[in-house]
């Protein structure tokens, strides 16, 4: 079986978020796909199968971390579209992936930028910070919002860069209601907002660039900044850039570039 490793939300080597992508002719057993994802040991492994009778434009798509299947993943969706265009001869400018989160169209621009059409997931303000989030003594609690992930809004980019995972260690408990922790703040120098993402289910492992987190972040920052088109950076060590837009109908656009890193074969 062919596999590809693609860095998403970047144009440079060793940047962005790596994803393994595996096109399949038919679905493998769930347990086997989870084993493959664990062996790949990438933040996500995406598997897709072409839908019959759709003239090649529609695919069913699933995403697995090394430990579990996830309901929505931006960077591995971007990577899957890149594989279709770069390696599998897909020529149309739009591909539609069907997922547990509904249809997810991906549009390709003339310069190669890919734009995800994703659901908007506005986070709701929380009256008090959740237990387990360690706040600096004597400082007021930052705004916190909850959706699939917990969103903590800090004052500036420097605070986001200085954030240590130990500040959220108490959240990474078996009974946490959140999949991940997003920390965010206003950006500078033409960047509207910045963020980082920590996976609470994988021991606060930092995710390099998290497309799905922007389903939460775009509606928040669009309202706060009074604009519908935004440019964002994720401030992990690898880093990534995202061109974002709030659209009508409960949707957001999350755009970025992707760069193939490796191709190979899995032998089972």
Q: CA distances (Å), 98 to each of 47, 60, 259, 260, in order? A: 12, 5, 23, 23
Q: CA distances (Å), 210 to each of 1, 25, 126, 149, 207, in order? A: 27, 28, 22, 12, 6
List the beta bridge partners of residue 206. 198
Measured between alpha carbons, how far is 139 from 6 in angstroms, rounded to an integer? 41
Res 26: pLDDT: 96
pLDDT band at 3 (very low <50, low <70, confident <90, very high): very high
For the chain, strand residue ranges (E) read: 2-8, 17-24, 44-50, 58-64, 69-70, 94-99, 102-108, 114-119, 124-125, 144-146, 150-153, 180-186, 193-199, 205-207, 229-234, 240-247, 251-256, 258-265
Which positions ≥6 away from 74 have C-beta within 8 Å? 8, 116, 118, 210, 211, 212, 213, 214, 215, 254
Measured between alpha carbons, how far is 251 from 118 in angstroms, rounded to an integer? 6
pLDDT digits (tens, 9 = 90+) for 80-94: 999 999 999 999 999
Measured between alpha carbons, how far is 217 from 195 in angstroms, rounded to an integer? 9
Average pLDDT over residues 106-132: 95
What domains sit in the chain, N to C, each tagged with a CATH number?
A: 2-119+255-265 (3.10.310.10), 124-248 (3.10.310.10)
Residue 115 · residue 243 · CB < 8 Å: yes
Strand pairing report for 114-119 and 102-108: antiparallel
Average pLDDT over residues 229-235: 98
pLDDT digits (tens, 9 = 90+) for 178-226: 999 999 999 999 999 999 999 988 788 999 999 999 999 999 999 999 9
Q: Using a pLDDT cut of 90, give the percent of the chain over it.
A: 85
Could you give the residue numbers annotated as active site? 44
Which positions ≥6 away from 161 have C-beta within 8 Å? 235
- Over 184-236, what HEC string results? EEECCCCCCEEEEEEEHHHCCEEECCCCCCHHHHHHHHHHHHCCCEEEEEECC
Measured between alpha carbons, how far is 260 from 13 in angstroms, rounded to an integer? 9
Residue 149 · residue 121 · CB < 8 Å: no
Res 173: pLDDT: 74
pLDDT digits (tens, 9 = 90+) for 237-260: 999 999 999 999 999 999 999 999
Distance between alpha carbon 113 and the CA centroid of its chain, in Å? 16
Residue 202 · residue 176 · CB < 8 Å: no
């Amino acid at each position: 079986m062919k596999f590809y490793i693609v860095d998403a939300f970047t144009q440079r080597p060793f940047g962005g978020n790596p994803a393994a992508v595996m096109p399949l002719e038919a679905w493998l057993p769930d347990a086997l796909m989870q084993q493959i994802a664990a062996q790949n040991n990438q933040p996500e492994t995406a598997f897709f199968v072409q839908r019959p009778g759709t003239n090649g434009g529609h695919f069913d798509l699933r995403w697995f971390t090394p430990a579990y299947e996830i309901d929505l993943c931006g960077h591995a969706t971007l990577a899957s579209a890149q594989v279709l265009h770069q390696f599998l001869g897909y020529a149309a400018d739009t591909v539609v992936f069907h997922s547990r989160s509904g249809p997810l169209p991906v549009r390709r621009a003339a310069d190669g930028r890919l734009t995800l059409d994703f659901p908007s997931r506005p986070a709701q303000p929380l009256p008090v910070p959740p237990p387990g989030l360690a706040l600096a003594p004597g400082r007021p609690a930052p705004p916190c919002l909850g959706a699939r992930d917990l969103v903590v809004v800090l004052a500036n980019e420097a605070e986001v860069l200085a954030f240590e995972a130990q500040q959220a260690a108490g959240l990474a408990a078996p009974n946490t209601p959140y999949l991940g922790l997003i920390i965010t703040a206003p950006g500078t120098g033409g960047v509207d907002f910045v963020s980082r993402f920590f996976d609470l289910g994988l021991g606060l492992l930092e995710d390099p660039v998290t497309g799905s987190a922007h389903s939460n972040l775009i509606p928040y920052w669009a309202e706060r900044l009074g604009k519908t088109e935004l440019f964002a950076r994720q401030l992990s060590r690898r880093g990534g850039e995202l061109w974002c837009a709030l659209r009508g109908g409960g949707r957001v656009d999350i755009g970025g570039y992707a760069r193939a890193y490796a191709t190979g074969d899995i032998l089972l």
